[in-house]
Amino acid sequence: MNTNTTIDFNEKKGFVCDMDGVIYHGNQILNGVREFIQWLHDEKKEYLFLTNNSGYTPRELNQKLARMGLDVSEEHFYTSALATAAFLKNQAPGCSVFAIGEAGLLNALYDAGITMNDVNPDYVVVGEGRSYSLDTLTKAINLVLKGADYTAVDAAITKAINEILDQYTLPQGYTAQTAGAYEDMMDSFGDLGLALAVALLLVYFVLAVQFESFAMPVMVMLILPVAFTGALFALPLTGRDMSMIALVAIIMLAGTVVNSSIILVEYIKIRRGMGEDRETAILHACPLRIRPIMMTTLTTVLAMVPMALGLGESNEMMSDMGVTMISGMVISTIVTLVFTPVYYSVIDNLSHLGRDRKKKQKNNAPAVQA
């Protein structure tokens, strides 16, 4: 928006307003709202109140404001449920969905000619509400795995708004951008991405001190891309999108999945210190370290199972973290037992090549005569 331009509200034909935090907070109308709505009526201005809460119908919002003393008719409300229904109707007219949500979402889908289907729906739609349960989420996941497209209410709104904005050429000096909660979420992703980078650096420095080498930490941390890939791959398989909770879990994985590699590499070094050559040390270390590695992984994985299943009201919000941690730990453990010995051999060979090259250069250097 061009901040250098003075806006004359009397010249505007219509207004679009957010509700929670703008019109009311909790059950209290904010100062100036009554006068503003009265002015809209007196001046016969078009206006629309928006909410990203898909649980309410326009009638329920009308009644909610009426209890606060405001008279706003139903046609002046537009919810995320209505936007989702319009988006699906535009994408696939007459489609069927499996919906998790309250009356606001279900009514909007019915009004758009979208039918409910819990066997082979075209879409799985997840909105806000109190209807989340292990059974419904399990059913939704299975339907997504069978081929249904997954749509979150807020994601559908953002996509629909961006498609509409792309069709318009804005006047010179004006820009349009997605703000509010969506903008805050994107900013949080950036902050967590920076936290992940810092976490990786700290892990590297700790390993460098432990192994007294700059090369060995690289070998141990080669397991991280595999763990991150496995963790991210599990999200769509379980019908989930990338979220801040999942990104926090990935940051946690940066410090946990290297444990198995540390256990294995440290024991290989101990065996070599006892006089065994590299290949013999690897062959002896791997079978003997399987038990502690599996115990380390299982203690973490089993502790995360209740969270991943969403058992209890508090764990439902944290299920993304549980799924991400479990998938990352399991895949990284399997890969550790198979590929860490290979990584160790490669890094060790490179270290020897570097030392041999320096020794050769030192031997070939001309003698300095006194």
Residues with a known catalytic role: 18, 20
98 vs 116: CA distance, rounded Å: 6
Instruction: Please give the angle made by the CA atoms of 64, 70 and 73, to the nearest 5 degrees.
Output: 75
53 vs 63: CA distance, rounded Å: 15
159 vs 88: CA distance, rounded Å: 11
The dihedral built from the CA positions of residue 222, 227, 230 and 233, taken in this order, carries a sign that is: negative
Q: Residue 352: what residue type?
A: H
Contact 331, 230 (CB under 8 A): yes
**Who's near 129: CB < 8 A, 6+ residues apart?**
54, 55, 100, 101, 102, 105
Distances from the Cα of 146 to the Cα of 104, 121, 248, angstroms: 27, 10, 29
Owner of token pair 């059950």: 27
8 vs 22: CA distance, rounded Å: 20
64 vs 98: CA distance, rounded Å: 28
Element (H, E) at 103: helix 103-111
Which DSSP letter does residue 238 get? T
157 vs 163: CA distance, rounded Å: 10
Instruction: Please give the angle made by the CA atoms of 36, 40 and 46, to the nearest 5 degrees.
Output: 130
Contact 112, 83 (CB under 8 A): no
The dihedral built from the CA positions of residue 60, 62, 63 and 67, taken in this order, carries a sign that is: positive
